[in-house]
Amino acid sequence: MTDLSYTSFEIPLADPLQTASGSIDTRRGFVVRYGDGLGEATPLSGWTETPKATEEALEAAGEHVPGAPSRGLLACDDAPAARHGLSQAMLDHHARRRGLPLYRYLGASEPIHTVTVNAILDETPVDALTTQASQAIADGFRTLKLKVGRGPIDHDIERLRQLRRTVGDEIELRADANGSWSTANAVGVCRQVRELDLAYLEQPTSVHDTANLGVLAETGVPIALDETIAAGEVLTALRSPVTAIIIKPMAVGGIDRALAIAKATRQCGKLPVISDLITGAVGRAGAIHLAAVVNAATAHGLATGSRLDGDLVEGVGAVTNGCVSVPSGLGIGLDTEVFRR
């Protein structure tokens, strides 16, 4: 019989993060252990259950796991962060037992050493944006993602134009509005940035605002959905004319669920992109293995480790030349003994 255990942790953020319930300056979660495996359960307001609900779900799961692991997972069904932690620990345990790195256990047939990632640009003033973009390219990034939707739309349009002028035609540009715009504003922006050849505009309007996706796609700007997927509207997104689907394993309840969504996304002719909910190194390592099996050459949203001031394990997901290393070794590739306290 294999037991479940978990330990809480807290990691300061390098800069405060805006969430559905205000600004936060630390990430709090749990490292979950199942046999030889490690998982991470790190909830985030607006994306998952509350931290209290995460702990309650893990506690409930712990009563079932030794005799009936699948019932443990069912106990976390409504708590995606808790389910992520438990299911990741189970995957890690089974991959180690099989003598495989997690990405091979998940189905990759060839060795994969690195995963491409995008840089995130969030500086609001145009001058600072130009500097930040040039630095990202000098650091080796070939895909840049600009956060938009926080100021006037005319300002965002000017920032996107300036960014394209700065980086030239060879760099892939993405924009993410985090659901900030009305349909009318989003359509207006799309019509004005059509010539900038954006790879996609992510979540232009709010989570459940999916009736407008046809109108948005008709502008010629490819659309991606992120928050809509985390909110569970996967089938709606798959049936819609969007180009890409952003999948955060912590928000959808686990690496297993995220991989199933990624496969369905590809079957629908769309691009799956894996992204991280600013988790610690255990969750990030799992997301990197997932991205490796989904498509190592697509730029994923996994350059998030630098947003933490400290970590569970240092150096996991450090970016070199626009790529992160897939942690080598069995399972997720982290030393289980570090967490045996």
Angle at which helices 80-98 and 255-267 cross, to 10°? 90
Residue with tokens 């045996």: 340
CB of 237 to Mg ion, least distance (A): 13
By residue count, the chain amounts to 341
Which one, 40 or 176, has the nearer CB to Mg ion? 176
> E strands along the chain, which residues?
4-19, 22-34, 37-41, 114-116, 119-121, 143-147, 172-176, 200-202, 223-225, 244-247, 271-274, 319-320, 323-325
Alpha-carbon span 306 to 236, nearest angstrom: 33
Which one, 72 or 283, has the nearer CB to Mg ion? 283
Q: Which two tokens stand for residue 210?
A: 């999916």
Q: CB of 275 within 8 A of CB of 248?
A: yes
Which one, 226 or 311, has the nearer CB to Mg ion? 226
Which one, 156 or 202, has the nearer CB to Mg ion? 202
Residue nearest to Mg ion (CB): 226
CB of 71 to Mg ion, least distance (A): 33
Which one, 176 or 276, has the nearer CB to Mg ion? 176
CB of 67 to Mg ion, least distance (A): 40
Q: What angle do CA 152, 158, 162 make, to 5 degrees?
A: 145
Alpha-carbon span 127 to 338, nearest angstrom: 44
CB of 179 to Mg ion, least distance (A): 9
CB of 274 to Mg ion, least distance (A): 12
CB of 257 to Mg ion, least distance (A): 18
CB of 202 to Mg ion, least distance (A): 5
Alpha-carbon span 129 to 121, nearest angstrom: 7
Which one, 226 or 276, has the nearer CB to Mg ion? 226
CB of 46 to Mg ion, least distance (A): 12
Which one, 48 or 336, has the nearer CB to Mg ion? 48
Q: Which two tokens stand for residue 126?
A: 């145009």
Alpha-carbon span 123 to 300, nearest angstrom: 20
Q: Which two tokens stand for residue 218?
A: 């008709």
CA-wise closest residue to 232 among 29, 26, 77: 77
Which one, 176 or 311, has the nearer CB to Mg ion? 176
Q: CB of 285 within 8 A of CB of 307?
A: no
Q: Given the rule CB under 5 A, which residues bind Mg ion?
A: 176, 202, 226
Report the half-sphere exposure of 88 (CA within 13 A, side-chain side).
37
